Structure 1
Amino acid sequence: MSVIESFLPPIIKTKETFGGESDLAAYFYHESLNQLLSEDDWLIVQSTYDPKYNLKYETLFTLTNGYMGTRGACEQGAVPEMPGTYLAGVFNKGDGPVRELVNLPHWHGISVFANRNALRYAEDASPLNAQTCEVIRFCRILDMKQGLLISESVYRDSAGHETAVGTCRFVSRHNVHRTGIRLFITPLNHEGVFGVESRIDGSAVNWRTNPKFRAKHYHLIAAEDADFEELYLEAVTKDEAVHIGYGAAIHGLSRLGQQAPLPTISHKFSNDGEQCAEYCEFRIGRGETVQLDKLVVIYQALELNGDCLRDAVHRNLERYRSEGWTRELRRHADRYAEMWKDADIRIAGGEDENRLIRFNLFHLMSTAYSGSPAVSIAAKGLHGEGYWGHVFWDTEIFMLPFFMYTFPDLAKSLLKYRYEKLDGARENARIAGYAGAKFPWQSAASGQEEIPPFSYDEHGAPQPLWMGKIEDHVTADIAYAVCQYVSVVDDPVFMLEYGLELLIETARFWQSRVEFHSERRQYVILNVIGPDEFHERVDNNAYTNAMAAHNLVQAADMLTDYQARFPAEVSRLLARLEWRPDDIAEWRKIAALMYIPRDEDRLLIEQFDGYFQKKDYQFTAFDPLGMPVYTGNPQLAELEQTQIIKQADTVMLLLLLRGLADPATVKANYEYYEKRTWHQSSLSMGMYALMAQRLGDTEKAYDLWLRTARTDLMDRHGNAGLGLHAAATGAVWQVLLFGFGGVQPDESSGILEIAPSLPRAWRSLAFTIKWRGYRLVIEAEPERLHITLPEIREGTFQVKIWGQLYAWRAEHSGERISVPNRREASVNG
């Protein structure tokens, strides 16, 4: 059984007979839909309809261009459902517990009415959907190569009439304000009058399926059928008064294969309460197919520089109608093709890994947006309302590496988000009593902490949420990400304009956060939470202390370097920040004397003071999804008394700071903590996979990587319906490139090093990376590595391959070089 088949309905191409038509070997009845599809290993297929999986598939089939995201809810509606359309950066609090990403009006709704007179207004009128009809055939496909969601259902109504309804949806990467759906309707065993209603639905709420958190975050100030034969709806958020305008129009109604418009029996526009609708009726003969397009344009007023929102929507929609759905689809698909040239990773061998990889990378790369530094990637992407749509450290540590090596401009935009929120981080530090900038555990629009101060237990009693107050490692994580970006991209302009200030302000925070322990004669950091959130309010979490020390050293080193290289620019920055010249020496002193708890006899780094005195527990049982099974009381108060950890903590530290410990210490810590990790966070297994690979256990790494890659497809954590586990998608890439691909900068020389080591099932691993302005195309095999050299601009291009240094000059530009694996040869010899 393939990897995909183990957790999704099988990918089926069978011959089916519809209404006396000839047999058709395809996914869909409508051949026009089949013709749109990419190759099978670019497709995720849902071939059966089961309502209990509706919310999961809404997440899996989300389409986003980084500016907006729309969940994969069915156009004809479903029960249950949690449809969502979100614009990056549009938040509101209202009466809710926190400021959250706003679920805005839904644009995707299309109802089809079959074989009745005066359809929309008849008392017995009911649309074709899974609630009113028997679904005799169902298929939905996410085409990841082109960014399409293609769906088809064959409905049998109470009269026995069978109708095939197909759709193709996209959210444009070419023009981020445009979305669209092409609709196909075919009566298979009947004929008559059909109606289509296209809606913009302004009744959307957040947390539709959870009354405890349900909230509507906007008012409607316009819901109308305009003079231009198009719909217009305008919403304004309740707190910040952000105006969002929608325009929509039905276009291109015709019989399949015919250019002439199909005559309509009626064509109406309506404004019914919180929605506006366009409705048309037409006649279809048995076996005939009619198609039409729903064209939609969405803007928010803040980006228009004072231009009229209604006019901007209308002008774009007017151009869209003139250019047509097909042209926009092609331009959208072309943009994805360009992105996949750099992002695609190909495996030869194995089972169905290419599809797994593409699923994770499709959602990861689709969610980033370079059009505004005011937005980043939330922990749940633009795929749902989990974690309120907030940004966590997940972005910098788990997702950013993919963008640094693949789309460096997007990586820069993600870091600029943190710079844009620097004043909010300064305010966080001030409120907590510290200097510099303290970045929030959960970030939204302002950069201030967004996590509520309390949650409530099953008895309604308030329980403090300490993460927002003391999970301070996020500040060091952001500084770490800045340094990694500069190492990979070599962007001094970014450092001068943004990066140095981020490093200085985060270093100032740690300078004020540490305390000097007079007995140890070392600096300590008390009352924190590390990545493992099962243990709160601990002292000297090793991850936090070591990452803080790294932050201080890197700030000192970078500032010293840039002062020498760009004295005038840095002098102006330091004057603005009222920087003290003796800070550099103080930062270095604190870092050198930072306390890291250790058990030297066992070569172990203690996760925090007193961790080894906790009750020991080692996992020995696993559930069918490969998750560790804990047989004790899962309440936090109980877990805090044990050595069970939620996710990679000390092991994560040793991955990020490779020079912190020797190989024997790294191995000892991996073996100790791996047995005690519950992997209750999707951030965990990927990091253990990376460490297993680093220690030479490639098959263990492969197993953990597969589990990580299946996080959402298998719904490993039971909450895929609330949105994407975006950090896991980044971890999938990291294990492929940093693990099996062996890609990393040499710490001493800064030269790129590539040392692949592939799982036994794989014959090759092919990928593309960007390195300091160069683009490298690499294909790794067990015995050799093929590298297509970039255009070498001057001097030599150097890279280490399996430990050997190679240098090529300009005359080698564009050549495909094969390098033998001498390590493999020496082992086999």
Structure 2
Amino acid sequence: MSKKNQTHVVDNLWCIEENRFNQDTNKHFEGLFTQGNGYMHVRGSFEEGLRGAAQDEEYMRMPANVTLEQPRHTKSKWGTFIPGIVGKHPLLKEEIINLPYFLGIDLIIADEELNMEASTIREYKRWLDLRDGCLYRSLIWETEQGIDLKLCYKRFVSMEEKHLCLQQVQIEVLSGEGILDIRCGINPEVRTNGFNHFKEVLTEDNNSEYICTKTITDGGNSVLMLSGISASENICWSRLTQNQRIFFSGSRLLKAGDCLEIQKVTSVVTDRDLEEGTLIERGEKYLKYFFKEGWEKIYERHSRAWDSKWLYSDIEITGDDEAQLAIRTYIYHLIRANSENDSRVAICAKGYAGEAYFGHYFWDTEINMLPFFIHTNPQAARNLLMYRYNTLEGARKNALENGYEGAKYAWEASVTGEEQCPCWQYADHEIHITADIIYAMYHYVNSTEDIAFVRNFGVDMMVETARYWVQRVDRNKDGYYELLGVMGPDEYLPITRNNAFTNRMVKFSLEKTADLLQKIKQEDAKGYLEIENRLGLKELEIEKIKEVAEKLILPYDENTDIVPQSEDFESYADVDFNAIWKDRTKPFGNFISQEKNYRSKALKQADVLELMLLYPDDFTREQLTNAYDYYEPITTHDSSLSASVHGIVAAWMGRMPEAEKFLKKVMDIDMSEEKKGAAEGIHIANCGGLWQMIVYGFAGLKSAMWCDEIQLAPHLPDKWTKLEFTLAWHGKRYRITVTKEKHEITELY
């Protein structure tokens, strides 16, 4: 028999641990332990599942306020996601599809199945190693027949061979004797938000040594899953089907002292992959590669690929182990969730770790996550912006549906770029995203000096969005332009007048568009003519863009004591938070009707402070302080986007106790076992928010948007003695070291 279970060293600064099984927190750890490689992602569910946690229940999930929604599944929710594999939804245009569950490994002794809820388990431990994305589980199973088995599980989704997932189970018999039955298979009995997106599921017998499931989705895609299996001892495997499930089945007599290792490998391919060959040819190619190369070689390449990611992404914190583990966890999920070579997709709001936001993309991508990629993996940042370019046609359709020319980017987008949001408040009025994308593009260009991106792709986005803005504004009796009926970042006020954040973003976008066109016209007459012909651009349009940019109202100036969230903000009702908000552990929105909330001064998240974060040179220190003191007490932080912004501003002001309070809040959003925040997926924008809080807030980095040289003004938390990270800046890499006494900037290459 094989050797005994191998031990794995758990590094508390690199590993997230679950030291006891608890049904109430299981779903949280499923989300937190999500594995992936950009191409595919799987939630950290148990190989054998949980008894009574049906995954094929069908129901209609009504799109609503996700912050306040009560999830349907309580114990467990499988998740297998491939960005870009989306299906039709009766209330939406597109939602990501939760694909068949290929991780299944069932162990049975004398008709007793291993089940974490029902079985007698001791010495349980499960952990995700962030260094290489490997998920481990170890336990001792005391069977009803008196057989004690030590089980050690390991699995990873290969970062190098992105179509492969490898699983391993090591079984050591501590006492007793009996026959172990093993089932390893693929289970298509899965629904997405209660909806069946599988038009057809075929369990194909291709006369090979593998099991095979081909799924035809209602989105028109074909997804092929192939699994192979091997064992350290000779086992006679048979291939069986049960309903739509297909699995290997084998048995082995085990005695005390015996050890058995089982390896399962699965390849996943789809018809949207940018590769040649049939599905079956490609699927079998990857499995043959595994059986030729073996576990160790594939793991080594996988591990090296993760090492290369961490080389430029890691943040090292000395003196605060909790913050160290949190930022590494959040960076891990940012890396994992990003498909850096596929510009047809972006990063969904749950980081492909859950179904909550239907797999849709928001402004989070550009404002919360893009800075991380700009300064750690500029190519990935460029790719995320290319997604917006590639979905420009969908943005044109959105504008047309609203009665405008040009392009209006969707509040909730998917692969087509068309509006997916079913809630009229956001779809119709939260329009700042169209300008946010242009801001983000310039942030990328100013950080990387990739001017070619603007000339080759960005100009189309800028002209088309400018056309939308020119029609979306209204001219008042004084000849100035306004934006009426606008929802800013604060989603608790839906239809306001001249939202300061939105108006500033639009003014920036229009000014940059006019400047760029003029610059190209002066420097590259041939190129400008090509733009004119391609976009049907007229000189009168450019003049109109300049006029609107110049005369668009900003409801503040340098003499404004408190920058108004919107021109009409003070007309809204004041709120007695103590009387309404009875339980501060729950969102404020649970205690007030939407109707009352929409006419009250109760903010969901940072709005004016977000504006000041993105345009720091526009405001005086006094304005920043006044805004923080005025708006923070009336901000509920019901959104996960809010705490990091407030933490950054508090650090800028040197109010470190408040900054550290927000640091704790940001970390707890997904890390807290008590709050169970990762149950429905990772708050991936908050992951980017923590990175920004550390880099922009505590290290005090001034945004590359507004300066050419690296400038730091550090304010470290009390416990932190050193902060180190690597920064990509203008095509070079720099090592940043910050202590209480000084900071150093070292050029690496």
TM range (shorter): over 0.9
Which position in structure 2 is the counterpart of 1:120? Answer: none
Question: Are residue 508 (structure 1) and residue 467 (structure 2) matched?
Answer: yes
What secondary structure sits across from 1:775 in the alignment?
strand
Distance 1:649 1:153 in 2: 48
Counterparts of residues 234-245 of structure 1 (less than 5 Å):
234-238=214-218, 240-245=219-224
Change (3 A) 1:421 1:478: same
Change (3 A) 1:417 1:31: farther
Question: Are residue 204 (structure 1) and residue 190 (structure 2) matched?
Answer: yes
Change (3 A) 1:143 1:632: closer
Which position in structure 2 is the counterpart of 1:399? Answer: 369
Once the two structures are overlaid, the 10-residue window that deviates more, 494-503 or 522-531, is 494-503
Change (3 A) 1:749 1:108: closer
Counterparts of residues 576-595 of structure 1 (less than 5 Å):
576-595=534-553
Change (3 A) 1:784 1:321: same
Distance 1:319 1:630 in 2: 53
Q: 1:669 aligns with which of 609, 627, 631?
A: 627
What secondary structure sits across from 1:40 in the alignment?
coil
Which position in structure 2 is the counterpart of 1:25? Answer: none
Which position in structure 2 is the counterpart of 1:647? Answer: 605
Counterparts of residues 296-315 of structure 1 (less than 5 Å):
296-303=266-273, 307-315=277-285
Q: 1:557 aligns with which of 510, 515, 539?
A: 515
Question: Are residue 484 (structure 1) and residue 470 (structure 2) matched?
Answer: no
What secondary structure sits across from 1:597 in the alignment?
coil
Which position in structure 2 is the counterpart of 1:816? Answer: none
Question: Are residue 789 (structure 1) and residue 747 (structure 2) matched?
Answer: yes
Which position in structure 1 is the counterpart of 2:352? Answer: 382
Distance 2:666 2:583 in 1: 11
Give the TM-score, by structure 2 length.
0.92
Q: 2:492 aligns with which of 522, 529, 534?
A: 534
Change (3 A) 1:629 1:228: closer
Change (3 A) 1:313 1:731: same
Which position in structure 1 is the counterpart of 2:142? Answer: 156
Cα pair 2:201 2:244 within 8 Å, conserved: no
Which position in structure 1 is the counterpart of 2:154? Answer: 168
Which position in structure 2 is the counterpart of 1:474? Answer: 433
Cα shift readout 1:134-173 (whole Å, capped 9, x = no counterpart): 2223111010011111012322222332222221010111
Cα pair 1:620 1:628 within 8 Å, conserved: no
Q: 1:81 aligns with which of 70, 76, 80?
A: 76
Aligned length: 724
Distance 1:469 1:249 in 2: 49
Cα pair 2:565 2:607 within 8 Å, conserved: yes
Cα pair 2:146 2:176 within 8 Å, conserved: no
Cα shift readout 1:549-600 (whole Å, capped 9, x = no counterpart): 1111122223333444444334312320011224344323322222223499
Question: Are residue 350 (structure 1) and residue 333 (structure 2) matched?
Answer: no
Distance 2:684 2:567 in 1: 32
Cα pair 2:204 2:214 within 8 Å, conserved: no
Distance 1:600 1:352 in 2: 40
Structure 1 residue 326: Cα displacement = 2.0
Question: Are residue 499 (structure 1) and residue 458 (structure 2) matched?
Answer: yes
Q: 2:104 aligns with which of 105, 109, 132?
A: 109
What secondary structure sits across from 2:84 in the alignment?
coil
Question: Are residue 40 (structure 1) and residue 12 (structure 2) matched?
Answer: yes
Structure 1 residue 337: Cα displacement = 0.7
Read off the aligned partner of 1:34 and give its amino acid letter: T
Cα shift readout 1:428-453 (whole Å, capped 9, x = no counterpart): 00111112110001001111101125
Change (3 A) 1:589 1:96: closer
Change (3 A) 1:413 1:716: farther
Q: 2:713 aligns with which of 746, 752, 755?
A: 755
Task: Please provide the CA RMSD for this pair.
Answer: 2.3
Read off the aligned partner of 2:720 and give its amino acid letter: W
What secondary structure sits across from 1:722 in the alignment?
coil
Change (3 A) 1:563 1:740: farther
Question: Are residue 229 (structure 1) and residue 209 (structure 2) matched?
Answer: yes
Which position in structure 2 is the counterpart of 1:49? Answer: 21
Question: Are residue 369 (structure 1) and residue 364 (structure 2) matched?
Answer: no
What secondary structure sits across from 1:388 in the alignment?
coil
What secondary structure sits across from 1:387 in the alignment?
coil
Question: Are residue 220 (structure 1) and residue 200 (structure 2) matched?
Answer: yes
Cα pair 1:621 1:629 within 8 Å, conserved: no
Read off the aligned partner of 1:517 and give its amino acid letter: N
Change (3 A) 1:621 1:761: farther
Change (3 A) 1:297 1:565: farther
What secondary structure sits across from 2:165 in the alignment?
strand
Distance 1:690 1:661 in 2: 15
Which position in structure 1 is the counterpart of 2:669? Answer: 711
Distance 1:32 1:566 in 2: 67
Which position in structure 2 is the counterpart of 1:68? Answer: 40
Which position in structure 1 is the counterpart of 2:530? Answer: 572
Change (3 A) 1:419 1:365: same
Which position in structure 1 is the counterpart of 2:307? Answer: 337
Read off the aligned partner of 1:362 and give its amino acid letter: Y
Distance 2:139 2:658 in 1: 42
What secondary structure sits across from 1:129 in the alignment?
coil
Read off the aligned partner of 2:441 and give its amino acid letter: V
Which position in structure 2 is the counterpart of 1:58? Answer: 30
Distance 2:590 2:88 in 1: 38
What percent of counterpart residues are identical?
29
Structure 1 residue 196: Cα displacement = 1.5
Change (3 A) 1:338 1:619: farther
Which position in structure 2 is the counterpart of 1:92? Answer: 87
Read off the aligned partner of 1:133 and give its amino acid letter: S
What secondary structure sits across from 2:101 in the alignment?
coil
Change (3 A) 1:694 1:246: same
Cα pair 1:496 1:570 within 8 Å, conserved: no
Structure 1 residue 332: Cα displacement = 0.9
Read off the aligned partner of 2:22 and give its amino acid letter: D
Distance 1:546 1:377 in 2: 26
Cα shift readout 1:56-76 (whole Å, capped 9, x = no counterpart): 111000001111110000012
Distance 1:166 1:154 in 2: 9
Which position in structure 1 is the counterpart of 2:125? Answer: 139
Change (3 A) 1:582 1:724: same
Cα shift readout 1:366-403 (whole Å, capped 9, x = no counterpart): 11012211110000111010110100111110001000
Q: 1:418 aligns with which of 388, 391, 395?
A: 388
Distance 1:227 1:568 in 2: 60
Once the two structures are overlaid, the 10-residue window that deviates more, 144-153 or 716-725, is 716-725
Read off the aligned partner of 2:300 and give its amino acid letter: R
Cα pair 1:618 1:676 within 8 Å, conserved: no
Change (3 A) 1:669 1:757: same
Which position in structure 1 is the counterpart of 2:294? Answer: 324
Which position in structure 1 is the counterpart of 2:61? Answer: none
Read off the aligned partner of 2:87 and give its amino acid letter: N
Which position in structure 1 is the counterpart of 2:502? Answer: 544
Which position in structure 2 is the counterpart of 1:263? Answer: 234
Q: 1:615 aligns with which of 548, 573, 576?
A: 573
Structure 1 residue 95: Cα displacement = 4.1
Point out where structure 1 has 5 or more consecutive residues left out of the alignment. 1-29, 117-124, 208-213, 255-261, 454-464, 792-829
Cα pair 1:424 1:448 within 8 Å, conserved: yes
Change (3 A) 1:563 1:750: farther
Distance 1:366 1:439 in 2: 25
Cα pair 1:380 1:387 within 8 Å, conserved: yes
Change (3 A) 1:340 1:554: same
Structure 1 residue 335: Cα displacement = 0.7
Cα pair 1:441 1:468 within 8 Å, conserved: yes
Point out where structure 2 has 5 or more consecutive residues left out of the alignment. 54-74
Distance 1:717 1:533 in 2: 23
